[in-house]
């Protein structure tokens, strides 16, 4: 394992890929292109997804600063990015619980929010990294946290309707080939207890990104 000396406390567990990238530096970094992402997701080899070393260092700094200012990263995301107020019955064991319009994930637009990922993986410039945050939890398999067959079907249907069909409506006959999605299992999640799914879009029109995730002015 590569040894990396960091100037500050590491606020989360770094993967072997993270350590190798930090040791190699930006000059040796190869971003994930579309074919690479397709293979990683098809093989569920999500632990090798990586950020540009300088971005990872900034993310480490940001995480330390945010944890010093807020009770947790989850609290920051809820209050500052999603503007969702957890119910008083929420606990550290349960994670944030919310009043929901529906108990079926992604069935009511009030129960989810689509945002650009503030800290995307190191991707080629043609790929946009989007996060779909949900008030309703997706049933998964314990203890690893892999999605159940039913949950996978729910997410797939939502992505098809929300992203693929909208991209196709722009006249793109290859829309299905330009959308990928995944959901990290528990051990890879940086914001645990708050349901979210990753969506990757290749060559997305700016107008459509605005429709999905808001205007440029509303993004951090």
Question: Does residue 143 carry a pLDDT above 90?
Answer: no
Mean pLDDT (the chain, rounded): 90
Element (H, E) at 217: none
- At 99, list the tokens: 């009043």
Per-residue pLDDT tens over the stretch 102-137: 999 999 999 999 999 999 999 999 999 999 999 999
The predicted structure's pLDDT at residue 217: 43
- At 191, list the tokens: 């914001």
Cα 110 to Cα 81, 82, 95, 174, 210, distances in angstroms: 15, 11, 19, 30, 18
Element (H, E) at 128: strand 127-134
Which 3 state secondary structure label does DSSP give 38? helix
Question: Does residue 40 carry a pLDDT above 70?
Answer: yes
In angstroms, the CA 41 to CA 66 distance is 30
**Higher-confidence residue: 157 or 13?**
157
Residues above pLDDT 90, as percent of the chain:
74
Question: Does residue 60 carry a pLDDT above 60?
Answer: yes
Task: For residue 104, give the DSSP letter.
Answer: S
Per-residue pLDDT tens over the stretch 192-205: 789 999 999 999 99
Question: Does residue 220 carry a pLDDT above 90?
Answer: no
End-to-end CA distance of the chain: 35
φ/ψ region of 95 (left if φ > 0, alpha if ψ in -120 to 50, else beta) reads left
In angstroms, the CA 194 to CA 96 distance is 7
Per-residue pLDDT tens over the stretch 158-191: 999 999 999 999 887 899 999 999 998 877 777 7
Question: Does residue 219 carry a pLDDT above 50?
Answer: no
In angstroms, the CA 138 to CA 184 distance is 12
Q: What is the pTM of this model?
A: 0.90
Which among 217, 203, 214, 200 has a CA at the least distance from the CA of 170? Answer: 203
The predicted structure's pLDDT at residue 8: 61
Whether the bond between 143 and the residue before it is cis, its omega within 30 degrees of 0, is: yes
Q: Name the pLDDT band for 218 (thresholds 50, 70, 90).
A: very low
Q: Name the pLDDT band for 2 (thresholds 50, 70, 90).
A: very low
**Higher-confidence residue: 39 or 190?**
39
In angstroms, the CA 49 to CA 172 distance is 28
């Amino acid at each position: 394992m590569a040894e990396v000396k960091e100037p500050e406390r590491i606020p989360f567990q770094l993967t072997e890929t993270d350590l190798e990238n930090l040791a190699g530096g930006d000059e040796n970094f190869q971003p994930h292109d579309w074919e690479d992402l397709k293979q990683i997701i098809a093989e569920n080899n999500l632990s090798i997804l990586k950020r540009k070393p300088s971005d990872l260092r900034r993310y480490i700094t940001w995480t330390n600063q945010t944890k010093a200012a807020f009770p947790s990263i989850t609290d920051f995301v809820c209050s500052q990015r999603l503007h969702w107020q957890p119910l008083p019955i929420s606990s550290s064991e349960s994670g944030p619980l919310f009043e929901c319009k529906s108990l079926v994930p992604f069935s009511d637009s009030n129960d989810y929010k689509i945002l650009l990922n503030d800290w995307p993986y190191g991707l080629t410039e043609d790929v946009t990294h989007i996060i779909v945050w949900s008030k309703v939890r997706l049933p998964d398999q314990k203890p690893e946290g892999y999605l159940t067959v039913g949950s996978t079907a729910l997410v797939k249907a939502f992505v098809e309707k929300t992203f693929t069909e909208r991209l196709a409506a722009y006249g793109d006959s290859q829309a299905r080939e330009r959308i990928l999605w995944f959901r990290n299992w528990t051990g890879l999640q940086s914001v645990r207890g708050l349901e979210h799914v990753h969506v990757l879009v290749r060559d997305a029109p700016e107008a459509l990104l605005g429709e999905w995730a808001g205007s440029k002015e509303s993004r951090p």
